[in-house]
Amino acid sequence: MKKIINNPESVVEEMLEGIVNAHPEYVKRLEGFNVLVRADAPVKGKVALVSGGGSGHEPSHGGYVGKGMLDAAVAGEVFTSPTPDQVFEAIKAVDGGSGVLLVIKNYTGDVMNFEMAAEMAEMEGIKVDSVIVNDDVAVENSTYTTGRRGIAGTVFVHKIAGAAADKGLELKEVKRIAEKVINNVRTMGMSLTPCTVPAAGKPSFELAEDEMEVGLGIHGEPGTHRDKIKTADEITEHLLEKIFNDIEVNEKDEVAVMVNGLGGTPLMELYIVNRKVKDILQEKGIKVYKTFVGNFMTSLEMAGCSVSILKLDDELKELLSAKADTIAFKQFEE
């Protein structure tokens, strides 16, 4: 295991210290908890957004705490969902009187821990609601299973629901908009290398020099299948095909695109993927409203990428274009 760390047990603690040291103008830490909240929390009268999950997905989620996105991010151990007491503290710290929306990625652990926290908060009289992001088309959706996972599409939920809250909308409205994003976003990913959880010390799976893993989540778990490495264009075609099998996007529809790196892939390759995404969308007559290329939802040092497509309407377009000022996602108003 080659990592620039001190001690596998303390990576989350030291990372959080490093984040707060670097960006005191954006975030502060809740003492004794692995929770980052906006430096100016709680924002009176605004619906607060709380998200989080296991660590190892940086800049998710701490990097999205700030104006126009999250009010708090709760950091679990690497790839392990945080416990309800941590989430509960986050909720209490950011509630500005207008209620709190939890943005949860669809993993059994995350869902249950966040829901328990919501119950605890409700017992204290805080208005809490939640949405569950499930954008990963690698996994089939069904009410009889755990359903699709939440991956990079979550960042669109943070951005757009964050803008809605920033606009002063009430909890019910912010939730409606978050759910609209969730219904309209789909993601599919692949990787060239596994990643190593510091505490485990060895890679989560093995891949031969000419192999790639397709349809995997963001926790180092194996994907839906293994394949010989293809060209960037072929990979992109496959990812988009899976997405369009799952969601109908028609000619003249407008979309936002996110080409997300998993942590170990150079930007150069992500842009090569984006080139093909644009080509394919153009062929289908789909209009690209906005494109995001970079490391938004990572799996430690995993090499690989995911492509997300978000179908837009006027409401989502306006909120997606709104100002955001966080550590890792900054956008000027248009």
Partner 1 sequence: MKSTELMIKIIDNIATTIHENKEYLTELDAKIGDSDHGINMDKGFKMVQEKLHAVKDKDCGTILKTVAMTLVSTVGGASGPLYGTAFLKAASVVSDKKEINKDDIVKMFEEAIMGIKMRGKANKGDKTMLDALIPAYEELKKSIENNETIIEAFDKGQKAAYEGVEYTKKIAAKKGRASYLGERSIGHQDPGATSSYLMLKAIYDTLKEAK
Binding site for ligand ADP (CB under 6 A): 108-109
List the single partner that 132 binds among its own copies, Mg ion, partner 1, none, CB under 5 to 8 Å by kind: none
Query: Residue 64's closest CA among 187, 156, 181, 165?
Result: 156
From the candidates 23, 61, 158, 219, give the one annotated as an active-site residue. Answer: 219
Minimum CB separation of residue 98 from partner 1 in Å reads: 27
Query: Residue 199's closest CA among 53, 4, 7?
Result: 7
Amino acid, single-letter form, for residue 283 = E
From the candidates 23, 57, 61, 158, give the one annotated as an active-site residue. Answer: 57
- Helices marked H in 187-312 — which ranges? 232-246, 267-283
Indicate the DSSP class of residue 267. H
Q: What length does the chain have?
A: 334
Using CB under 8 A as the binding rule, whether residue 61 contacts partner 1 is answered as no
Q: Which of 51, 55, 60, 80 binds Mg ion (CB under 5 A)?
A: 80
Residue 57 appears among annotated catalytic residues = yes
Q: Which of 275, 287, 313, 315 binds its own copies (CB under 8 A)?
A: 275
Amino acid, single-letter form, for residue 86 = Q
List the single partner that 172 binds among ligand ADP, partner 1, its own copies, none, CB under 5 to 8 Å by kind: none
Do 319 and 164 contact (CB within 8 A), yes or no? yes
Q: Which residues pair with 185 in a beta bridge?
A: 310
**β pairing state of 35-38 and 27-29:** antiparallel
Helix axes 171-184, 314-321, angle to 10 degrees: 100
Using CB under 5 A as the binding rule, whether residue 134 contacts Mg ion is answered as no
List the single partner that 149 binds among its own copies, partner 1, ligand ADP, none, CB under 5 to 8 Å by kind: partner 1
Amino acid, single-letter form, for residue 110 = D
Do 214 and 226 contact (CB within 8 A), yes or no? yes
If the CB atoms of residues 80 and 265 are measured against Mg ion, the closer one turns out to be 80
**According to CB under 8 A, which residues from 188 to 207 bind its own copies?**
192-193
Using CB under 8 A as the binding rule, whether residue 199 contacts partner 1 is answered as yes
Strand order in the sheet with 27-29: 27-29, 35-38, 72-78, 48-55, 100-105, 128-133
Minimum CB separation of residue 28 from its own copies in Å reads: 15
| Interface ranges with its own copies (CB under 8 A) | 2-7, 11, 14-19, 21-23, 55-56, 58-59, 63, 192-193, 209, 212, 229, 231-233, 235, 257, 259, 263-275, 278, 288, 291-295, 298, 300-301, 303-305, 325, 328, 330-332
The catalytic residues are: 57, 219
Could you list the residues that contact Mg ion (CB under 5 A)?
Answer: 80
